[in-house]
């Protein structure tokens, strides 16, 4: 059976899900087609989870506009979706004279970008704010508006809210062809044909390949890998804020940051790679990251490593976002959302809705009343279900059986083991499943997740 929609969004990363939400809430009939067994199978599954202010974004760019619009909307809707935010603020820390000399420029850029609450502070004030920082820290730019959020629950909430507004989300539905006819597009997917009057390409790391289905892609994805080390320490006991380096011509440098799950992490590196999926870590780089973290905060020398991970940025040959409504065709390209997509997603969604209205068709006159779909809380700083009782299955992260069941069931249920972890934190603690791994996998296998017992997560499961 061929299904027909107003808009098909290709790609269930944070950007595609935010767009889906916005269009569905405008009253359009929408479908999202995701290649993986679950949403967040690409760039959006491994990032730093910082909600940016745009203080260092290129002036006048679409990126800056979307980051600021997106962060603003995130703050506006987060309570109703039960999404967390730790208002940690950030310090851009100067470790030598040359770096210190760059701070006034960064301040001017931030102010020009409208981030007016930033200011410079000296070494003494910095050490009072962050007493564990190594003595080499000389001065900093304080950016109070930078914040830490939950990288997985936010897109999940966007997807769930879209579902509540009538959207359809299909996983294991890689788009392999797109044909334009009089009534719109016919997309070939692994789950059959889908018809839509308009298409949004939000395929992230595969954005150029999806674009090539309809035209020579105006950009090429050049994935840039970022590796991370997460320390097994309660983050707030050592560092309060996000500690950014002063960017140099050569490198943006790595960030030491508290995670929403209550730990401290360092990363990401920036490495050119041919990998478009399955980002790998390597020991030498991880050791380098760990050493850098200890240089910044010597007390980390005693800390254990809780987990390691890597993410892939959908970078292109140019720095800027590659967003356009393809002239004369009902196709909107949202590509190259490289390193700020979590912050910008809701802003990009607004932008896409504007493009849709101006280039494709007017939005329905009477948008429906918003339906709010709060998601379970995973943030450590807020109340978590185990505190009220229940059976704890994952002891390190204190995840209850009911939470795992809920993630395996209901709207936008987990599609693979990784998706289950991202929805619950189960198996993500210091023992990495030594204690709970079998129980969690058995629950996942009983719910039909193909990779729970060693098979593959994606189509063609073993």
Partner 1 sequence: MGQPDVLVIGGGPAGLACATALAKAGMRQVLVAEREAEAGGVPRHAGHWGFGWESHGRLMRGPAYAARLLVEAQAAGVTVATGTTVARIEGPGRVVLHDKTGLHEVVAGRVVLATGAREGTRAERLIGGARHPQIMTTGTLQQMVYLKGMVPFRRPLILGAEWVSYSAILTCRHAGIRPVALLDEGQGGTDAAPRWFAPATRLAFAIPTLRRTSDPVILGRGRVEAVRFTRDGRQEELACDGVIISGRFRPEASLLAGLACPPGVILAGNVTGPLKTAGGAAMAGRGAARQILGDT
Ligand X SMILES: Cc1cc2nc3c(=O)[nH]c(=O)nc-3n(C[C@H](O)[C@H](O)[C@H](O)COP(=O)(O)OP(=O)(O)OC[C@H]3O[C@@H](n4cnc5c(N)ncnc54)[C@H](O)[C@@H]3O)c2cc1C
Which residue shows structure tokens 């490593």? 305
Question: Nearest distance from residue 151's CB to ligand X, in Å?
Answer: 7
Q: Does 301 bind partner 1 (CB under 8 A)?
A: no
Q: Does 57 bind partner 1 (CB under 8 A)?
A: no
At 329, is the secondary structure helix, strand, or coil?
Answer: coil
Among ligand X, partner 1, none, what does residue 84 contact (CB within 5–8 Å per kind)? none
Question: Nearest distance from residue 296's CB to ligand X, in Å?
Answer: 18
Q: Does 422 bind partner 1 (CB under 8 A)?
A: no
Q: How many CB atoms lie within 10 A of CB 248?
A: 11
Q: Does 206 bind ligand X (CB under 6 A)?
A: yes
CA 413 – CA 447 distance, rounded (Å): 10
Q: Does 372 bind partner 1 (CB under 8 A)?
A: no
CA 422 – CA 222 distance, rounded (Å): 26
CA 6 – CA 8 distance, rounded (Å): 7
- Pick the closer one to ligand X by CB: 31 or 107: 31
Among 60, 96, 438, 448, binds partner 1 (CB under 8 A): 438
The partner residues of 119 in beta bridges, in order of sequence, read 142
Q: Does 223 bind ligand X (CB under 6 A)?
A: no
Question: Nearest distance from residue 247's CB to partner 1, in Å?
Answer: 27
**Contact, 233 vs 259, CB < 8 A?**
no
Q: Does 10 bind ligand X (CB under 6 A)?
A: yes
HSE toward the beta carbon, residue 224, CA cutoff 13 A: 18
Stretch that binds partner 1, among 2-10, 19-27, 78-86, 450-458 (CB under 8 A): 450-458
Extract the runs of DSSP E, i.e. beta strands, from 284-353: 305-313, 322-325, 331-335
> Which burial class, exposed, middle or buried, applies to 462 when counting CB atoms under 10 A from its CB (0-12, 13-18, 19+)?
exposed
Q: Does 174 bind ligand X (CB under 6 A)?
A: yes
One character per residue 332-371, x = contact with ligand X (rule: CB under 6 A): -----xxxxxxx----------------------------
CA gyration radius, the chain: 22
Question: Nearest distance from residue 342's CB to ligand X, in Å?
Answer: 3
Contacts of 389 (CB under 8 A, 6+ apart): none
Which residue shows structure tokens 């693979």? 416
- Pick the closer one to ligand X by CB: 125 or 285: 285
Among partner 1, ligand X, none, what does residue 203 contact (CB within 5–8 Å per kind)? ligand X
- With residue 72 as reference, give the H or E element that holds it: helix 62-81
DSSP 132: T
Residues between 309 and 328 that touch ligand X (CB under 6 A): 311-314
Q: Does 16 bind ligand X (CB under 6 A)?
A: yes
Residue 248: both structure tokens together: 């140099």
Among ligand X, partner 1, none, what does residue 54 contact (CB within 5–8 Å per kind)? none
Q: Does 203 bind ligand X (CB under 6 A)?
A: yes
Residue 107: both structure tokens together: 């301040």
**Contact, 258 vs 86, CB < 8 A?**
yes
- Pick the closer one to ligand X by CB: 150 or 174: 174
Q: Does 42 bind ligand X (CB under 6 A)?
A: yes
- What is the maximum alpha-carbon separation in the chain? 68
**Contact, 48 vs 229, CB < 8 A?**
no
Among 180, 287, 317, 354, binds partner 1 (CB under 8 A): 287
- Pick the closer one to ligand X by CB: 189 or 373: 189
**Which residues in this chain contact ligand X in the complex, by CB under 6 A?**
10-16, 33-36, 41-44, 47-50, 52, 174-175, 202-206, 210, 226, 268, 311-314, 337-343
**Which residues in this chain contact partner 1 in the complex, by CB under 8 A?**
230, 234, 237, 277-278, 280-283, 286-287, 290, 304-309, 386-392, 395-396, 417, 430-435, 437-439, 441-442, 445, 451-458, 462
């Amino acid at each position: 059976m061929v299904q027909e929609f107003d808009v098909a969004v290709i790609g269930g990363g944070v950007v595609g899900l935010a767009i889906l939400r916005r269009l569905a809430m405008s009253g359009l009939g929408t479908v999202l087609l995701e290649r993986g067994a679950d949403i967040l199978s690409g760039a959006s599954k491994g990032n730093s989870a910082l909600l940016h202010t745009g203080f260092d974004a290129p002036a006048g760019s679409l990126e800056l506009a979307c980051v600021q619009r997106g962060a603003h909307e995130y703050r506006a809707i987060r309570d109703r979706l039960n999404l967390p935010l730790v208002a940690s603020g950030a310090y851009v820390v100067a470790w030598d004279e040359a770096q210190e000399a760059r701070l006034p420029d960064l301040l001017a850029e931030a102010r020009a970008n409208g981030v007016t609450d930033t200011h410079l502070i000296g070494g003494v004030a910095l050490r009072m704010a962050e007493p564990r920082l190594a003595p080499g820290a000389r001065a900093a730019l304080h950016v109070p508006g930078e914040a830490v959020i939950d990288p997985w629950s936010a897109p999940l909430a966007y997807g769930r809210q879209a579902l509540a507004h009538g959207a359809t989300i299909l996983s294991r539905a890689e788009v392999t062809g797109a044909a334009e006819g009089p009534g719109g597009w016919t997309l070939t997917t692994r789950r059959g044909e889908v018809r839509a009057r308009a298409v949004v390409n939000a395929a992230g790391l595969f954005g150029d390949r999806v674009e090539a289905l309809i035209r020579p892609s105006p950009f090429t994805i050049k994935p840039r890998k970022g590796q991370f080390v997460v320390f097994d320490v309660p983050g707030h006991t050592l560092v309060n804020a996000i500690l950014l380096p002063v960017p140099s011509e050569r490198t943006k440098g790595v960030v030491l940051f508290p995670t929403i799950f209550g730990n401290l992490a360092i990363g990401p590196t920036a490495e050119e790679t041919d990998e478009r999926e399955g980002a790998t870590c390597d020991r030498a780089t991880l050791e380098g990251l760990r050493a850098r973290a200890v240089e910044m905060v010597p007390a980390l020398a005693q800390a254990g490593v809780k987990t390691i991970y890597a993410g892939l940025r959908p970078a292109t040959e140019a720095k800027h976002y590659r967003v356009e409504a393809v002239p004369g065709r009902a196709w909107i390209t949202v590509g190259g959302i490289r390193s700020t997509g979590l912050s910008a997603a809701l802003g990009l969604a607004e932008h896409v809705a504007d493009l849709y209205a101006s280039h494709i068709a007017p939005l329905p006159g009477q948008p429906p009343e918003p339906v709010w779909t709060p998601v379970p809380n995973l943030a450590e700083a807020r109340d978590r279900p185990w505190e009220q009782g229940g059976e704890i299955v994952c002891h390190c992260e204190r995840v209850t059986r009911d939470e795992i069941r809920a993630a395996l069931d209901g709207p936008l249920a987990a599609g693979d083991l990784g998706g289950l972890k991202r929805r619950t934190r189960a198996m993500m603690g210091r023992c990495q499943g030594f204690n709970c791994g079998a129980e969690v996998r058995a629950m996942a296998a009983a719910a039909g997740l193909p990779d729970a017992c060693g098979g593959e997560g994606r189509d063609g499961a073993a």
